[in-house]
Structure 1
Amino acid sequence: MAPAFRDGDRVLVRRGPRPAVGQVVVAERPAGGGTWDGPPVRSAAGAAEVRGREWLIKRVAAVAGDPVPRDRVRSLAEVPEERVPAGRVVLLGDNRKVSFDSGEVGYFPADRVLGTVLRRHTP
């Protein structure tokens, strides 16, 4: 997400309501092949459980019910559905040339989104 965010940045995240297109979110990084090890973080999870995962900062490109953005996301170019399926989101990094996002893994499960970034945190 450079230049907006860099590795190691701390952000304030609002957990709860599902994000909207254009918002920046924190999402759990898949382990490999677009899959995740174990269940998603519980909505009531404490800091220790959240810290035990790898996270990505991405921008929401489409949510369930939106048209599939085939023209912007190569991994979704051949999907049969016309709309993003329920429980899924399309996430893209601002620096597309080097971003690990829906371009590589397709849809992200909505329950793997921790929350919406409110601002960068400065201690």
Structure 2
Amino acid sequence: MLVVAAAVAAAVRIRTSVVVVSVRGNSMAPAIRDGERVVVRRRPLARIRRGDVVVLRPPETSERDGGYGTDRHGAGWNVKRVTALPGEPVPAGTAGAGPRDTVPPGSLVVRGDNPDSIDSRHRGFFPGDQLLGTVVRRLGAPRAPGA
């Protein structure tokens, strides 16, 4: 009986550790295109590395952002690449930061691969507590019904 309970608990943990997000917009093009789906592994800020493609809860003004995704429940998320972590020097062009500033604790600097992306260049630091996780795999676009 205990073995079954442990297996069920492990299955639940595995199921909730990854999320599929459908990308809307071109902020990560050409790496990830509009309409593609990606697998996101939930990760805390401490496990994030510079260069990771992450999914974060968007700021209030996300309607203007050309790089967001939704999970299967329709919740909106920003899909961006990490360019600086807490304690690192702030990259040039980050909104609200000076040339000698460092990224504050609990924050990230993120940018879309597309230069037209609305990201830290416009919004400054993204709070790490808005982080869903890292993109671990592209699934491509969903198949059309009957295809």
TM-score for both structures, normalised by structure 1:
0.74
Rounded to whole Å, the distance in 1 between the matches of 2:83 and 2:76 is 21
Aligned to 2:133, which of 91, 115, 118?
115
Rounded to whole Å, the distance in 1 between the matches of 2:103 and 2:84 is 7
Between the two proteins, the alignment pairs up a number of residues equal to 104
Aligned to 2:40, which of 7, 13, 17?
13
1:78 aligns with 2:98: yes
What's the offset of the Cα at 1:53? 2.4
Cα offsets for 1:65-120 (capped at 9, x unmatched): 11111x242x14438x7211111000001111x10110110000001111000010
1:32-47 → structure 2 map (5 Å cutoff): 32=61
1:55 aligns with 2:84: no
Conserved 8 A contact 1:91-1:101: yes
Conserved 8 A contact 1:68-1:76: no
- Show structure 1 runs of 4+ deviating over 6 A: none
RMSD: 2.2
- Bigger RCO (CA 8 Å, 6+ sep): 1
What's the offset of the Cα at 1:7? 1.9
Runs (5+) with no aligned partner, structure 2: 1-27, 63-70, 143-147
Give % identity. Answer: 48
Greater per-residue strand proportion: 2
Greater per-residue helix proportion: 2
Rounded to whole Å, the distance in 2 between the matches of 1:91 and 1:12 is 19
Cα offsets for 1:1-42 (capped at 9, x unmatched): 101111221101110243110111111221129xxxxxxxxx
